[in-house]
C-alpha cells in the first residue's frame, strides 16, 4: 500500500539541508507532511531548506541535541541523514569521522529515547559491505567495511539495532548505493564542497574544458573502469516515504538496499554526459585508489518486497540530464 499523503504529520529530518536530505524534505512536503530540519550546516545549505522550519543542531553537542528534540517531543518519526561522508578525509582524520558519525548518532538516539520519537529511518551505505565479489549484493552478506566511512556507518547501524532491542525503537536502515541526479524542477541538487562524486565532477569537466581524473582502467569490467549502481536522488527520497508507510503498517525493523540493480562503468557515464551536454569530457588516467572495488550494484528484491519500492527516475540519461540542468541553473 503506497502512502498517498502525510497530511498533518511532522517528521524530523536530521541533515535535511544536505543533498539527499533536501530532496527528502521536498518529497515529504509534496505528500502534505511537514519536514523539520535539524542541521549544523557544516555540509548542508540554508538555501536548500524550503519546506518547513529548521533548528541549528550539532549532534556532537548532547545538550543542544536533547533541547532540540524536547522542543519537538511529540514527533514520532526521525529520518537520520547527517554524517561525514568524504572517504579520503575519513582515512586522514578518523577521529573527526567517529566523533561526527558515531558520537553524534549516540546523542541522537539518547535524545529520541527521552521523547516520543520511536521510529527512525537511517541513511546507511553500501560501503558497509566492503569487498564483495558476488554481485548483485544481498543484504545478508557479511559486512566487512574497508573505509573509516563504512566502519562508522556500520557502527551506527549496530547502535540503532541495540536501541531497538533495549528501548523498543523501530528502525529501517536504508543502504544507499550511488546517489546521483537532481530534482527535475532544478531548484535543488548536488552541492558538495569539495565535490568528490563522479557525475558532478564530469559535468564540470565537460562544461569547463578542464581535465578530470580517472583512477584505474585495468579492472575486470567491460571497459576496465569501475562499475557502480547509480540511483536518482528522487528515488532515494521516495524510499523514505515508502519506509514511513512500512512503519505505519507495523514494520519493526529492516535493513534494505536502495539501488537499481544495474551497474554502469565510468566510461559509460562519460559517454552519456557527452551525449546530454554536447561537450567532450577530457580526462587523465591515474593509478587505482586503495579500496576501490571493480563492481558494486544492489540486489533490490528486498526493497520491493518489504517496502514496495521501485525506481522511477533512475534511467541513466535522466540522471545525467537532471544533474546537468541543476549544474547550469546554479552557474
Q: How far is CA 229 from CA 136, 153, 177, 242, 301, in A?
A: 10, 19, 6, 20, 15
Q: Which of these, 195, 179, 209, lies nearest to 330 by C-alpha position?
A: 195
CA proximity to 29, closest of 10, 57, 2, 42: 10
Specify the DSSP element, H or E, that contains 176.
strand 170-176
Distance CA 72, CA 66 (A): 10
Count other Cβ atoms within 10 Å, centred on residue 165.
9
The burial of 166, by beta-carbon neighbours within 10 Å (0-12 exposed, 13-18 middle, 19 or more buried), is given as exposed
Question: What is the three-class DSSP state of 66?
Answer: helix
Q: Contact, 244 vs 5, CB < 8 A?
A: no
Please tell me which residue in 54, 72, 149, 171 is annotated as part of the active site. Answer: 149
Please say if 149 is a catalytic residue: yes
Q: Is 168 left (phi over 0), alpha (psi -120 to 50) or beta?
A: left
Give catalytic residues, as residue numbers: 149
Amino acid at each position: 500500500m503506497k502512502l498517498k499523503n502525510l497530511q498533518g504529520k511532522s517528521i524530523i529530518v536530521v541533515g535535511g539541508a544536505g543533498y539527499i536530505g533536501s530532496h527528502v524534505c521536498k518529497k515529504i512536503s509534496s505528500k502534505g507532511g511537514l519536514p523539520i530540519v535539524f542541521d549544523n550546516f557544516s555540509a548542508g545549505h540554508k538555501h536548500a531548506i524550503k519546506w518547513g522550519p529548521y533548528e541549528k543542531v550539532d549532534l556532537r553537542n548532547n545538550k543542544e541535541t536533547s533541547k532540540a528534540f524536547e522542543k519537538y517531543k511529540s514527533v514520532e518519526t526521525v529520518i537520520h541523514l547527517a554524517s561525514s561522508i568524504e572517504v579520503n578525509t575519513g582515512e586522514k582524520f578518523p577521529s573527526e569521522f567517529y566523533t561526527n558519525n558515531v558520537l553524534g548518532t549516540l546523542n541522537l538516539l539518547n535524545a529520541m529515547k527521552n521523547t516520543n520519537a520511536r521510529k527512525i529511518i537511517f541513511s546507511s551505505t553500501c560501503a558497509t559491505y566492503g569487498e564483495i565479489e558476488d554481485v548483485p549484493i544481498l543484504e545478508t552478506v557479511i559486512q566487512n567495511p574497508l573505509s573509516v566511512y563504512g566502519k562508522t556507518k556500520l557502527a551506527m547501524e549496530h547502535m540503532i539495532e541495540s536501541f531497538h532491542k533495549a528501548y523498543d525503537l523501530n528502525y529501517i536502515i536504508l543502504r544507499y548505493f550511488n546517489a546521483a541526479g537532481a530534482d527535475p524542477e532544478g531548484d535543488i541538487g548536488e552541492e558538495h564542497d569539495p565535490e568528490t562524486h563522479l557525475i558532478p565532477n564530469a559535468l564540470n569537466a565537460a562544461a569547463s574544458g578542464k581535465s578530470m581524473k580517472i583512477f584505474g582502467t585495468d579492472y575486470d569490467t567491460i571497459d576496465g573502469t569501475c562499475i557502480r549502481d547509480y540511483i536518482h536522488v528522487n528515488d532515494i527520497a521516495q524510499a523514505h516515504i515508502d519506509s514511513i508507510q512500512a512503519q505505519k503498517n507495523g514494520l519493526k525493523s529492516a535493513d534494505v538496499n536502495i539501488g537499481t540493480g544495474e551497474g554502469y562503468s565510468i566510461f559509460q557515464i562519460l559517454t552519456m554526459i557527452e551525449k546530454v551536454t554536447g561537450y567532450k569530457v577530457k580526462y587523465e588516467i591515474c593509478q587505482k585508489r586503495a579500496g576501490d572495488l571493480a563492481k558494486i550494484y544492489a540486489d533490490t528484491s528486498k526493497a520491493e518486497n518489504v517496502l514496495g519500492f521501485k525506481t522511477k527516475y533512475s534511467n541513466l540519461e535522466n540522471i545525467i540530464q537532471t544533474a546537468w540542468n541543476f549544474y547550469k541553473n546554479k552557474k
